Structures are given as structure tokens and as C-alpha cells.
Structure 1
């Protein structure tokens, strides 16, 4: 187990209630069922916090609500749903007869764990960045006079440690991935309408040609007036991770 993995497991042990922060666009991809099992096996209360709910439509949210029990929808950056989340935490603490609960926060890199803590506290307590993997170690923070929270670095299950998938769920920085065009090809295949809507370019059957068209539209070129596929691919991935391209 990595050092960060060990930290997260220690946080679970110390917490009374655990918040698993998920990206509303990628629920299944950002769930860590290994940790969920450990949380429930330790008789801890688990709340699924569905962040970035403003990035998806109501139909998508309704499906999540139907498929996932004990969840709260929020947008940490816009402070939406945080009051409801606080109320749910308080209710669970009362049910467990805990006066000063310790709340653990877990989740993939860049799903918004630190932004959530800042929204709950109302001040910038946990460091935040749109760059994946920004939180470097656990942080114990007081959210209110009777509530403490522990932020953790994002930990990815071993079986999901694949660059293409990680960059698409926002868990890996687009600037560091090798062959970003391969991730973009996968993105366009799965979401052609979203790409067309945002960039006003109709995807072709040949996805590589589509990326070249996007490069020319963005005026990203290399020597010889050729399309800069790598730069274009990294921009598309950044736009996707930041939520500019919405479901």
C-alpha cells in the first residue's frame, strides 16, 4: 500500500462519518468500492457526496439518486447543497450519539474534496487547485464548534490505475499524460454530441481527422501550418476536466 493509501485508511479508522466525494459526471468511475466496503465493515456511516452537480442535467441527477443510496448533491464551488449536507451529517451524528463528530473526506484526486471543506467552513482552509493531486497529505480542520473534518490526498484503486481513464475522470493532469490524443479519441467516441455542441465541429468517423479539424479551428498549428494535435488534445482534456464541456 502506498503512503497516501495508508493515510486514507488511517483517516477512515479515526472518522465517525465518512464522506465519499464523487464527480457527478463519472459516478461509477470515481467510486472506490474497496474503501466503501472497509467503511461499512468498520460500522462507520458513509455519505456519498455528489459534487459538480451543476455540470450535468436533471435527468442524469435523477438516475444517480435512483441508483445510489444515501447521497447528497452539491456544487462545492457554487456552495449549492452544502447546508443540506451539514444537516445530514448532524442528523447522523445525533443518531450515533456523538457530540463532536470527526468527518473523514475521501475521493479521487480533483473531485473537489478540499473545495467541499472550504464551502462547509466558509473560508479557504484546505488548499485547492484544479490540478489533479494537489492535496499532499491529511489535514485536520475545524468546520464548526462541534465538527472536525479530515481532508486526504486522492487515492486511486490499483485496478483503475490507467492513464487514459484517469485523465478523463479528472484524476490525472492533462499536462503530464503521454499521448493525450488517445484520451481525446476515447472522449469523442463516447461523447460526440458534447464535442460538437461545445466546439461547433461535427466529429467525423475518423476521430484523428476530427482532432485535426479542432486544431485548425482553434488555430493551434505547428511548423508547416500543420494542426498541432498534441496541444489541441491537452486543451480538450482541460476543458473536459474543468466542466466547460457539460453533459
Structure 2
């Protein structure tokens, strides 16, 4: 598979602006895709935020089984992290996030008071890869649609401060992605989950990789029952070829997009593409 890379100009610019704004921020919400929590963690975030409090958010929890979610929560706890669970579309978990930000604000204003300074609203920033659901979460926190949100990467193009309440100000930042994706296995998962722009990959190759990954994770029965085509005796590439011939008059691109969209929209069911590692840290 050709190298997967995607680093458009607006993201490079947003990353520079984000680093400048982080000095003004009290607490950082890092939003991860619950289907791929490791692959959707930006490796530079710890360096960028330093000692600032970080609140991990596992979004799209409706797209993985509850048992897998619990395994992830246990794993994060073993790493010293308390992960919050959200479904940005439905608003699940948003109240807990709001409370976490307010708690951080109380601590911040205690420190300001001790230095003889007046209290102010807590300033939070929401960061993460493109299309992990940051803007949908912000709209849920606000209780109304203020920032653009859509199921594709690159909708948010610039930084924007929004006032959640008298006690919280929130910075909505465009999705950030490493300038170079060194781990290509993770890059494939990001492409499958649409957490990067489609200009960075070939749909047919990514759909084939999805088939191979589903077989590796023992989800082959979903493919067999949904598309009446057994993936066990053929490669993912051959699967897309046969699916195109059987259903779409030889149109492999249409077959690839059907399979990818069925996964991305949750039509295939609750499918995690990562399980908690046994020893690696985040």
C-alpha cells in the first residue's frame, strides 16, 4: 500500500495557532475516537500542554460494544488516566465533561485568589484528530449549534473561542494530525474511521485493509452475512474486486465506498478496530 500522508495547509496553520493559544488555556480536553483510542491519540499532545490538566474523552462510544469500552476504561485507569465517555451526537456524557471543566476552574481560581487575583471563567480547549467529533461535543456543551459539524475531516478550519457559561470559555480548534504518520498501521485505521481527509488515501486500498482487519479481529461473519461473500479464503483486495463484480457491475470504487460507509455509519454494528494493549502506555 502506498504511504498514507495528509497534512494540508490549514492544519499546519491551525497547529501553529493552537500552540500560541495554549498559554491562555487552563485545561485541555483531548478527544479520542473510541474505535481506535491509540491510533487517534496525537503523540505531541503531552509535549504541547506540559503540566496543564488533561481530560481524556472517548467519543463515539455508541460505536463499540460496552464490554470493550469497559476494557478500555480499565486500561486507561491502569495508565493513571480517568477517561470520560461521550456520544457527541446524542449528548451522552456531556454533563460530566461540563462538571470536569468547572472543577478545573475552581482549582484555577483558588490559585488566582492566593496570588491576589480576581476569579475568571475557566478556559478550556478541545483538541484531537480531524473528525473525531470535537465540534459536535462543543455544540452539545453549549446546548445549541454554534460551530460547524459534519461527518468528514477538515470542517473546522480556524480557532474559535465560544462562551459555554459564566464559568467556562471553550476554544474550538481544527483537527490536528502529525506532519508525518510514521505508524502506517495507525494511519490505515485513521483512514478507515475517516479521521483524516480523503485526499490522503485510496478508497479501494483502505476498504481492502478494512476487510483484512475485520478478519484479523474475528468479525468476518459480519462481512459474510451482510454481503453474502466469505472473506476467509481471499485477500481484502480480492474481496473488493468480487464485491464490485457481484453487486456493482464491476465498479470496485462503488463497492469500496459502500463497505467503508457501512462501517463508518455504524450499519455493520458495534466494531472496535483496536483492543487495549497489554503493556504499552499512552
TM-score relative to the length of structure 2: 0.77
Q: Tell me what 2:116 maps to.
A: none
Distance 1:122 1:214 in 2: 43
Following superposition, the deviation at residue 211 of structure 1 comes to 1.6
1:96 aligns with 2:117: no
User: Secondary structure of 1:125's match?
Assistant: coil
Query: Does the C-alpha gap of structure 1 residues 13 and 242 become closer, same or farther in structure 2, counting only changes over 3 Å?
Result: farther
Aligned to 2:207: 184
Specify every segment of 5 or more residues in structure 2 that has no aligned partner in the other structure, as ranges: 1-10, 110-118, 272-282
- Residue of structure 1 equivalent to 2:93: 81
Partner of 1:237: 260
Q: What is the aligned partner in structure 2 of residue 27 from structure 1?
A: 37
Q: Does 1:47 align with 2:59?
A: no
Secondary structure at 1:30's aligned position in 2?
A: coil
Q: Is the 8 A contact 1:130 1:242 kept in 2?
A: no
Q: 2:258 aligned with 1:212, yes or no?
A: no
- 2:126/2:134 contact within 8 Å kept: yes
The answer to whether the 8 A contact 1:135-1:152 is kept is yes
Q: 1:172 to 1:239 in 2, by over 3 A?
A: farther
Secondary structure at 1:131 match in 2: coil
Taking only aligned residues, the RMSD between alpha carbons, in angstroms, comes to 2.1
Taking the aligned partners of 1:191 and 1:33, their CA distance within structure 2 comes to 26
> Paired residue for 2:194?
170
Q: What is the SS of the residue equivalent to 2:144?
A: coil
Q: 1:220 to 1:75 in 2, by over 3 A?
A: same
> Matched residue of 2:151: which SS?
coil
User: Within 1, Cα distance between the matches of 2:193 and 2:201?
Assistant: 16
| Cα displacement (A) at 1:158 | 2.6
Aligned mate of 1:38, from 48, 66, 72: 48
Q: Which structure carries more relative contact order (alpha carbon 8 Å, separation 6+)? A: 2
1:160 maps onto 2:213 in alignment: no
TM-score by length of structure 1 reads 0.87
Change over 3 Å in CA distance of 1:7–1:236 after alignment to 2:
farther
Question: How far apart are the structure 1 equivalents of 2:177 and 2:265?
Answer: 20
Aligned residue pairs total 238
- Per the alignment, residue 23 of structure 2 pairs with 13
Q: Is 1:8–1:106's contact at 8 Å kept on the other side of the alignment?
A: no
Contact 1:105-1:149 within 8 A present in 2 as well:
yes
Q: Is the 8 A contact 2:31 2:127 kept in 1?
A: yes
1:85 Cα deviation (Å)?
1.2
